[in-house]
């Protein structure tokens, strides 16, 4: 069963087409990553799903309702915008009390709901401190609690990891992962950070220029990439890197060769060609180190959009990392 159905939705602002015939279904209980470059239309889609904006054409249904159904949508769908801020003089508990009232939480259950939300996001001990003294990560977790107080069926989180340091990312990731496994909530998050989205999302869609380029189970999409394995090479200098790249010109073993922004040569090949590729690259003294990694969302994104423009990617995991000379 699907918790979100989006059919042929178009949204324009003057000359700008923000969404261009988007159709997407999001299964109940999934943790869904809506990925895309800046301006792809992710936030617009969220705003349509909560009824803050209306589509020019097409239909949307979320948690069994039309987004136009006002208050009942606010109870069923928790939308956390990217830059949610709170009055610095309020305590965390006061912020949640305000949001519980706004989302129609009855006074009989309000205190319990607030306590549960604080516990879920790990802010119970900080609940009565003023939020002006919260860290960025605590603010983001408080934001998540503001939507959890209504116990929504659907969570829409716009760029939840943006601007967080690695510890903040880990803490928030842990909360989302727990919600994902311990509740039946459907969680949809947007992200520029492919690595974070890959950790927490079981399904993804890639939005580009207002269109859905690809959507499905993250594992299926990873497997379906044309690039089975990526091998990255570092060379002793720029000339050496060019010589290594030249070894792969017209090589039948590789599917693509390109450079990363941080100066590595990236070679994509089938899994059973990896050893041949490494051997070919090592023919000489040019290679200074290499890394091998299995397909990830970067590859899915690259296949779908044809570039990684605007997406944040961390270095691939160090599986199989080998370095010469320490
Ligand atoms: N209220 C608006 N008025 C005019 N143009 C808008 C408005 N909202 C969005 N747009 C335009 O629609 C396009 C999609 O914007 P949107 O914010 O949905 O993208 P996004 O994928 O969320 O981008 P980002 O990752 O940068 O937040 C952009 O070109 C944006 O400038």
User: Which ipTM did the prediction report?
Assistant: 0.97
> Could you state, in order of their start, the residue ranges of all structural domains in the chain?
2-216, 227-294
Please report, for residues 24, 267, 282, the alpha-carbon distance to residue 227 in angstroms, rounded to integers and kept in the order given. Answer: 25, 9, 21
**What's the CATH fold of domain 227-294?**
Alpha-Beta Plaits (3.30.70)
Tens digits of pLDDT across the chain (326 residues):
899 999 999 999 999 999 999 999 999 999 999 998 888 999 999 999 999 999 999 999 999 989 988 777 878 899 999 888 899 999 999 999 999 998 889 999 999 999 999 999 999 999 999 999 999 889 989 999 999 999 999 999 999 888 788 888 888 889 899 999 999 999 999 987 777 788 889 999 999 999 999 898 888 887 776 667 889 999 988 899 998 898 888 787 787 888 888 889 999 888 888 898 998 888 778 888 999 987 777 777 877 777 555 555 443 333 333 333 32
2-216 and 227-294 in the same fold = no
CB 211 within 8 A of CB 22: yes
Distance, in Å, from the CA atom of 9 to the CA atom of 19, rounded to the nearest integer, reads 7
Class of domain 2-216 as given by CATH: alpha beta
Phi then psi for residue 117, to 5 deg, are -65, -40
Residue of 9, 17, 40 with the most ligand 1 atoms within 8 Å of its CB, for mutation = 40
- Please tell me the residue having the least CA distance from ligand 1 atom 2: 13
CB 41 less than 6 A from any atom of ligand 1: yes
Distance, in Å, from the CA atom of 198 to the CA atom of 191, rounded to the nearest integer, reads 10
CB 47 less than 6 A from any atom of ligand 1: no
Residue of 9, 10, 11, 18 with the most ligand 1 atoms within 8 Å of its CB, for mutation = 18
Statement: the pTM of the whole predicted model exceeds 0.90: no
């Amino acid at each position: 069963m699907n918790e979100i159905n989006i059919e042929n939705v178009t949204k324009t602002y003057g000359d700008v087409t923000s969404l261009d015939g988007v159709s997407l279904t999001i299964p109940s209980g999934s943790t869904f990553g809506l990925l895309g470059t800046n301006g792809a239309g992710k936030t617009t889609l969220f705003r349509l799903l909560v009824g803050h904006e209306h589509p020019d054409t097409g239909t949307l249904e979320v948690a069994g309702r039309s987004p136009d159904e006002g208050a009942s949508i606010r109870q069923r769908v928790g939308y956390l915008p990217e830059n949610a801020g709170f009055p610095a003089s309020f305590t965390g508990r006061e912020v949640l009390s305000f949001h519980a009232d706004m989302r129609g939480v009855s006074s009989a259950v309000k205190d319990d709901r607030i306590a549960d939300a604080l516990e879920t996001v790990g802010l119970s001990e900080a609940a009565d401190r003023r939020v002006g003294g919260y860290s960025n990560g605590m603010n983001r977790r408080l934001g998540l609690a503001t939507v959890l107080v209504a116990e929504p069926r659907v969570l829409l989180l716009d760029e939840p990891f943006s601007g967080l340091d690695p510890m903040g990312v880990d803490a928030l990731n842990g909360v989302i992962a727990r919600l994902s496994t311990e509740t039946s909530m459907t969680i949809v998050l947007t992200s520029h950070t492919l690595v974070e989205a890959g950790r927490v999302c079981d399904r993804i869609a890639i939005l580009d220029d207002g269109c859905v380029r690809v959507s499905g189970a993250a594992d299926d999409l990873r497997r379906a990439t044309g690039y089975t394995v990526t091998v990255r090479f570092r060379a002793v200098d720029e000339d050496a890197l060019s010589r290594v790249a030249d070894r792969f010109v017209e090589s039948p073993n590789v599917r693509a060769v390109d450079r990363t922004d941080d100066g590595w040569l990236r070679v994509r090949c089938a899994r059973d060609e990896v050893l041949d590729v490494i051997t070919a690259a090592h023919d000489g003294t040019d290679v200074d180190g290499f890394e091998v990694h299995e397909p990830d969302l970067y590859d899915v994104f690259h296949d779908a959009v044809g570039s990684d423009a605007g997406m944040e990617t961390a270095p691939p995991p160090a599986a199989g990392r080998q370095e010469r000379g320490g």
